[in-house]
Amino acid sequence: MAEREKHPNDGMHPKRRAMRQENKGRLPDGAEYTATYDGVFRRWRGKLYILDKELKPVVFEDNSSGVWRLLEKLDDQYRKWCQENPDLK
């Protein structure tokens, strides 16, 4: 029996693999993430800082049990903001 060819993300859930392969575009130049672990609540808290078209700061905040999920949630907030404020992105 021939050995099965392994997918580069073998073992990853198909939904997660599809999400990783989706290209949402890049964040604006100078975008900055911060993440801090809160051991009491066992959560990661983080912020995404960007400058809008007028160079005014915009901050997105969230928390999650994992760092990767936290970054995804902050990115999703940014994408939603872009849709709601097309003249400022």
Residue 74 inside a domain? The answer is yes
Q: pLDDT tens, 35-45?
A: 999 999 999 99
Q: Is residue 13 part of a domain?
A: no
Q: Is residue 49 part of a domain?
A: yes
Per the structure, how many domains does the chain have? 1
CA atoms within 13 A on the CB side of 86: 1
Cα 49 → chain centroid? 12
DSSP classification of residue 87: T
Partner residues linked to 43 by β-bridges: 38
Per-residue pLDDT of the chain (89 residues), as tens digits, is 455 555 555 566 666 666 565 667 889 999 999 999 999 999 999 999 999 999 999 999 999 999 999 999 999 999 999 999 998 87
Return the pLDDT at 7: 53
State the residue range of the domain holding 77.
26-84
Cα gap 68→16, rounded to integer Å: 12
Quick one: pLDDT at residue 25? Answer: 83
Q: How far apart are CA 43 and CA 56, in angstroms?
A: 29
